[in-house]
Amino acid sequence: MISVGILGGTGYAGKKLIQFCSAHPFVKDFEVYANTTADENLYSLFPDLEGTIEDKKVLSAKAISFDHDLYFLTLPHGEALKYVPALISKGKKVIDLGGDYRLDFEELYLQWYHLEHSSSYLLKSKVYGLADFDKSAYTDVQLVANPGCYPTAILLSLLPLVKGFGDEILSVSCSAYSGTSGAGKSPKSEFLLSEMEGNVKAYSVNSHRHEPEILQTLYKNGFHSPFAFTTHLLPVAVGIYATSFIHLKNNVDETSLQKLYKQSYAESPFVRIRNTPPELKWVINSNFCDINISVKEKKVVVTTAIDNLVKGAAGQAIQNMNKLYGWDESLGILQKEVTYAAFS
C-alpha cells in the first residue's frame, strides 16, 4: 500500500487522478496540492464527485509534504522543474504528466519549450512511460515522463509499422484532432463555446511541442523518413483522433499488417485493433487506445482514438504507477466486471 501526492490535482488531468487513486486497491491515501485552489475542498471544486471520493482540503504546493511514496505532477510546463529534483533526491518515485522531462536533450527542451532546463541530468535516467509499447519492468525506475496525449495515440498507432517496416517507409503524414480539454482548465477566449461550437481549426502548424516527442521515439525504433504532423481543435470537450498516411516503397498485405499489430499488442489489454476506423465514442472515459489499419497497395492509413485525459494522461499514469510497483498494469483502470446487486 502506498501514499500518493498529486501536485496540480485540481486540474483536468488531476481530477481523473483523484478518481483513479480513490478507487485503487493499493493506494492507501493521497493528498492534493495546488496553487490558487489551495484550502478549497474537493467537493466544492468537483461537486459531481461528492459521494464517490472522500472530501479533502486541497493543500498548498508551496508546503508540499515529502511523506508520500509516489508523486504525480500534473502542472503547467516549467512548474515540474521546481519540484522533481527535490523529490528524486529524497528517494521518491515521480510520474510527471507534463512535458518537462519527456525530451532526452536540454537543447530540444529549450528549442520547443523556450525554457532552460534546470535538471537536465534527469533527462537521461527518466523512463518515457509509453506503457502499452514498453513492456520492460519499471521496478528500478524513479522518474517516469508520462507521454503527451497526441504522442500516446500516434506512437501506439505507428510503432508496430515502424519497427516491422522501417526501411520500407517513404513518408508519414499525420493529421491529428483534439477536444478543448487538451489545453487545460485556464480560460482562453479561443476555447469559448461561442468560438468552438460548429468549428474546426488547425493550430500550432509546424510548431507543436509534441512533434519532437513523437519523432524521438520513432527514431529510437528505426524510423528515418520524412514526417509531417498537424494538429486541429475539435468542437468537443474530450478526445484525440489521429489519421496517419504512410507511403511505402512496395505493396503490403493488409492481413499481415493487422496480424503484426495484434502480435505487437498481444500483452497490452488497453490497445484494441479494430476492423473499422475507430470512433471517439468508443474510447471516451476509458484507458483504451483503438487502432485500425487499412491498406491499398503501397498506401497505409492508420486511424486511432483515445481519451486525452485518461489514456493520454491520468489512465496511462496509473498504468505507469502499477508498473513502478510491479503490480498488474491494469489494476484500478480496467474494470472487467460490474456486478449489480439487484441482478445477482
Binding interface with ligand NAP (CB under 6 A): 7-8, 10-14, 34-37, 61, 74-77, 79, 97-99, 148-149, 181-182, 184-186, 308-309, 312-313
Cβ 41 to ligand NAP, closest distance in Å? 13
- Output 112 or 165, the one with its CB closest to ligand NAP: 112
Cα distances (angstroms) measured from residue 85 to each of 39, 64, 118, 119: 26, 14, 9, 7
- Output 7 or 242, the one with its CB closest to ligand NAP: 7
Give the 3-state DSSP-derived string for the chain, with helices as H, strands as E and coil as C. Answer: CEEEEEECCCCHHHHHHHHHHHHCCCEEEEEEEECCCCCCEHHHHCHHHECCECCCECEEHHHCCCCCCEEEECCCCCCHHHCHHHHHHCCCEEEECCCCCCCCCHHHHHHHHCCCCCCCHHHHHCEECCCCCCCCCCCCCCEEECCCHHHHHHHHHHHHHHHHHHHHEEEEEEEEEECHHHHCCCCCHHHCHHHHCCCCEEECCCCCCHHHHHHHHHHHCCCCCCEEEEEEECCCCCCEEEEEEEEECCCCCHHHHHHHHHHHCCCCCCEEEECCCCCHHHCCCCCCEEEEEEEECCEEEEEEEECCCHHHHHHHHHHHHHHHCCCCCCCCCCCCCCCCHHHC
Cβ 172 to ligand NAP, closest distance in Å? 22
**Given 21, 149, 174, 289, the catalytic residue:** 149
Cβ 326 to ligand NAP, closest distance in Å? 25
- Output 143 or 149, the one with its CB closest to ligand NAP: 149
- Output 79 or 168, the one with its CB closest to ligand NAP: 79
- Output 260 or 306, the one with its CB closest to ligand NAP: 306
Look-up of cell digits 498494469: 329
d(Cα 235, Cα 296) in Å, to the nearest integer? 31
Q: Which residue is nearest to ligand NAP (CB)?
A: 11
Cβ 308 to ligand NAP, closest distance in Å? 4
Cβ 233 to ligand NAP, closest distance in Å? 12
174 catalytic? Reply is no
Cβ 263 to ligand NAP, closest distance in Å? 28
- Output 287 or 308, the one with its CB closest to ligand NAP: 308
Known catalytic residues are: 149
